[in-house]
Structure 1
């Protein structure tokens, strides 16, 4: 086990304040001096863990963005498929869950430790997805004034139902991920869609999705 892997486990299980360099060293089977030589102190090691998780999460996101439906035939269905891939491969994968555990546990007490994450993690995701949504706006399929804000709202909607499951360490089922993607996308399109965008033959389902949020 590498030092950062051992540190990630320790921080997730024990929290930042309670984690010791000695405990990480024992888990990684190295000396505490080795950790100090590589990272300097506990704060720098924590930042390295957050940076590694963010970089791995971003790598998955960059691959996924290529599958965004830029020229959809059925906007609702294709956007829901993209949302499902986003939930499954980015929001609910190992790195995504590990990052959220650290943020939920330590974000309020140590906001300075997550300053880089906010810029390099969500900031990049919102910009990338916002640019693709802006393309759909340009094509007349959506009505969007602020693409990055729309991207934040899109992410929040598709993750809304999943969040309560993962908050306590649970893992959503495939059916729950499908339902979250469909409901989130329908609610998003109810707000930002045009007559040329989402199908209008299922207005009852859209209203139900809005009420569910």
Structure 2
């Protein structure tokens, strides 16, 4: 939100009036940008969800591959990094601007991931009393070791993403694996 309308218009190769005709004010433009990037990011996330097998034969390996795919192609790609940086820098000043992002991003994704875990629970592969909590915990566990890297604007290496996925999935399965009492 730090850029002026003149800077935005120059970067877009349009007039200032064109920006105002389409968006009326800078805040409306900002909301449109967040919505567009969130939609692109969600497309990648839901493609990763669709790639998860309906009936996994090797649950641990499938969950690790899923976590790697999700982190590499969704959370730590260009759109994911842009959203994270934007939210970190602007959310405290403009919390109302991120309501749509929360609803269309994390809430929607958490519900879809919870549905995958519900299916795995009904197949007897997991014991999940609360699928929404399990979805948040899975995401937290498979990202925990990557947070410090991204906090400083860096992109995790392939090895870091794989190790984080493996360790997070192993911990997740200790808590929710079907063999657990």
Shorter chain as normaliser: what TM range? over 0.9
Q: Which residue of 2 aligns with 1:69?
A: 53
Aligned length: 180
Q: 1:43 Cα deviation (Å)?
A: 0.4
Unaligned runs of at least 5 residues, structure 2: none
Q: Which residue of 1 aligns with 2:171?
A: 187
Does the alignment pair 1:53 with 2:37? Answer: yes
Q: 1:26 Cα deviation (Å)?
A: 1.7
1:100-157 per-residue CA deviation (whole Å, 9 max, x = no partner) reads 1111111122110000110011111111111010011111111112111211111111
The answer on whether the counterparts of 1:134 and 1:144 sit within 8 Å (CA) in structure 2 is yes
The answer on whether the counterparts of 1:141 and 1:193 sit within 8 Å (CA) in structure 2 is yes
Match of 2:133 among 139, 149, 168: 149
Q: 1 CA distance for matches of 2:96 and 2:78?
A: 24
Does the alignment pair 1:28 with 2:23? Answer: no
Alignment of 1:39-188 (within 5 A): 39-188=23-172
Q: 1:165 Cα deviation (Å)?
A: 0.8
1:86-106 per-residue CA deviation (whole Å, 9 max, x = no partner) reads 011111111111111111111
Runs of 4+ in structure 1 off by over 4 angstroms are none
Unaligned runs of at least 5 residues, structure 1: 1-15, 197-213
Paired residue secondary structure (1:66): helix
The answer on whether the counterparts of 1:69 and 1:79 sit within 8 Å (CA) in structure 2 is no
